Amino acid sequence: MLFATQFWANGCHMARKVSPMQNSMLRLLALVLFLTMPNALGQWLTQRVVLQPGWNAVHFEVSPEPGDCARVFAGQPVQSVWKWNRRFSTIQFTVDPNMLLPEDPDWLVWLPPSNPRSFLSRLGALQGNQAYLIKVAPNAAPFTLALKGRVILARQEWYPHGLNLVGFPVHTNHPPTFAEFFKFTPEVDTSKGYANELYSLDASGAGRRIVQPARDRIERGRAYWVGCARTPTDISALRITAGTGGRVDFGVLLTRQELIMKNTHPTDAFTVCMRQRASESPPPTGGFPELAGPAPLSYLAKNASNRWEWSNLADAGLSHTLAPGEQWRLWLGVRRRDLAPYVPQGTNGASYQSILEMTDGAESLLIRAPVEVRQPQAGRAVLTSTGDPGDAHHEDEGLWVGSVTLDQVNAPAYTDTNLVSTPAPLSFRLLMHVDGYGRPNLLQQVALAWDPTLTTAPHTNGTYALYADERALPLEATDVKRIDSVVFPIMAPVGLTGGLTNALAGTITNSFDDPTNPFLHRYHPMHDNKNWDFEPYPYAVETRTIVRKITLTFNPVTNNPANPYYGVDFKSGTYRETLSGLRFQPVLVQGLFSLQRISQINQLRGTTP
């Protein structure tokens, strides 16, 4: 396992802590490239905001698409939209909104085209996790604004010594009171009565002080003015940390991602409940990936035997009770083999998307995190001048390293169907490489190295490469790591027939004059295969040619359906080998094998030993 780590080239019983798997430079680089792709963020949800005549203080929890104000408010009786501009002031609400002027540098404003002063608009697009003041025509009827947007993890930017216009991730089933929500937030004092720095906005634009925080409940989607002595450490009693950029993004390579949930209460226990829900379809315009289906997720936990095992994250979800201040590190895995086949209808590609909803046991809080999975894009099937696949890709491509344990053999007088157990098992290493076309090869040795001479696009400054023979390594190569298997002769890669979903078969021939032939002894006159003049015989006289027919039969995925690695980065099954030439009758051995993919480099160089 240590070598594999170094060599890597590309519901109420949950685990408390899992040591993270180390990733290699190539895999990290691939992830970075993926995360910087435009429009990579998906997971869609429609937020419905009820707007009343007059002033409305609202909080957008999704990032609307399209987000430009002109399209969002087209045909609606909206007279103006305001957002505090923190570049100029840390005090968000110091005046009656009726006194706001479009020229005020402390606020960004959008005015409809019908307004003669619309040329002063500086608010272009609406954003998620932001609060806005929206003024609706006084004579208009109440209406609901349906905003389809991208789900983003709840967060807030607080500024001390002033009032913050903010919204909160509360649940609509049992929303908490202000006193309950800020119970363990010393930065926000709700015990001052008429001196509380808590305000709601009424339709006339007047700020109403919340003098009974133990009675008044927080409304989801509504914004409030909240004063704080200093910046609060957490937005709520439940702190969620998700993957990269606040989302559980598996990209095109990753199988496992971490989700951290912490109870910020210093004295009270807290039950976290999590469930997976479906994502809505993305907007038809905007260049977003199509919804290919949900992300099939599993989670890692200890079973009744106190052993780690993967379980499906069912629709019912799971829950876990956290002690005061306790942190729950949950490993989520995506079962890529269960991704439903999907052919994109347009040119924006597709991704598998879901939404994770985390609540407390009382359903007073609700925090959402987006989940996204992409399939590798199959490139053009192109062979380079070296015979390596260029832009071709296969789901099983890369280097697979594992082991074989033989524990059965046929007796000399028995047929191959009469296997007996060996006194002790024999274990050895197994190496296999699969290229971009899905063609598997059995290897005796392989080397990974940084090759600065490989400067063709996109690797203009070199890249890591795999070599079947370390003698083919250029002198400039660095960071060289080698792995081999001593039970196979020094040989060129041996092509295997079949598929990794069923069985593979191949033949290894150990020639009578091969230096690794066990019958060939260099200094023994009866086993050197030479005549009395010490001239080599051109055929087998004192030695024998050994033929090894190998079959790898893979276990079906149903043997371990919840493990996200099985069938994707991990495979196992039955190893069977028939050896001819050792005795009159063939020798048959059998056992179990396992293979772990430790690199996704699909080109194998230096294939001539």
Query: Which range has the top average pLDDT, 240-249, 375-384, 385-394, 492-501?
Result: 492-501
Task: From 258, 241, 414, 262, select the one nearest 323 (Cα to Cα).
Answer: 262
Quick check: 23 pLDDT over 50? no
Q: What's the CA gap between 584 and 565, in Å, rounded?
A: 43
Question: What is the identity of the amino acid at 25?
Answer: M
State the pLDDT at residue 49.
Answer: 94
Q: How many residues appear in the chain?
A: 609
Answer whether residue 430 shows pLDDT above 80: yes
Could you tell me whether strands 350-360 and 290-293 are parallel, antiparallel, or unpaired per DSSP bridges?
parallel
Mean pLDDT of 99-118: 81
Q: Return d(Cα 561, Cα 358) in angstroms, integer.
A: 25
pLDDT band at 254 (very low <50, low <70, confident <90, very high): confident
Summarize the confidence of residues 168-191 as an average pLDDT: 91
Classify residue 247 by its DSSP letter. Answer: B
- Report whether 35 contacts 27 (CB < 8 A): no
Mean pLDDT of 168-172: 94
Cα 319-239-565 angle, rounded to 5 deg:
55
Confidence of residue 385 (pLDDT cuts 50, 70, 90): very low
Least confident piece of the model among 59-73, 260-274, 304-318, 584-598: 304-318
* Percentage above 70 pLDDT, the chain: 83
DSSP assignment of 374-407, as one string? Answer: -PPPP----B-TTS-BSS---TT-EEEEEEEEEE
Rounded to whole angstroms, the Cα distance separating 337 from 224 reads: 46
The 3-state DSSP class for residue 121 equals coil
Is residue 145 scored above 50 in pLDDT? yes
| Per-residue pLDDT, 541 | 66
pLDDT at 609: 45
Task: Give the pLDDT mean for 197-222.
Answer: 91
Domains of the chain: 2-36+236-373 (no CATH), 44-152+156-228 (no CATH), 398-605 (2.40.160)
Supply the DSSP string of 544-598, one letter for each residue: --EEEEEEEEEPPGGGSTT-SSBTTTEEEEEEEEEEESSSSSPEEEEEEEEEEEE
Over residues 249-267, the mean pLDDT reads 90
Q: What is residue 536's DSSP assignment?
A: B
Decide which of 21 and 135 is more confident. Answer: 135
Task: Tell me the backbone φ, ψ of residue 72, rounded to 5 degrees.
Answer: -65, -40
> Does residue 172 carry a pLDDT above 80?
yes
415 — pLDDT class (breaks 50, 70, 90): low
Dihedral in degrees, nearest 10, Cα atoms 496, 499, 502, 508: 0
pLDDT class of 518 with cuts at 50, 70, 90: confident
- Phi/psi at 71 (5° precision): -85, -35
Ramachandran assignment for 53, one of left (phi > 0), alpha (psi -120 to 50 degrees), beta (any other): beta
Contacting residues for 33 by C-beta, under 8 A, at least 6 apart: none
Q: Which two tokens stand for residue 165?
A: 């216009």
* pTM for the full predicted model: 0.74
- Which of 128, 175, 166, 129 minimizes the C-alpha distance to 365? 175
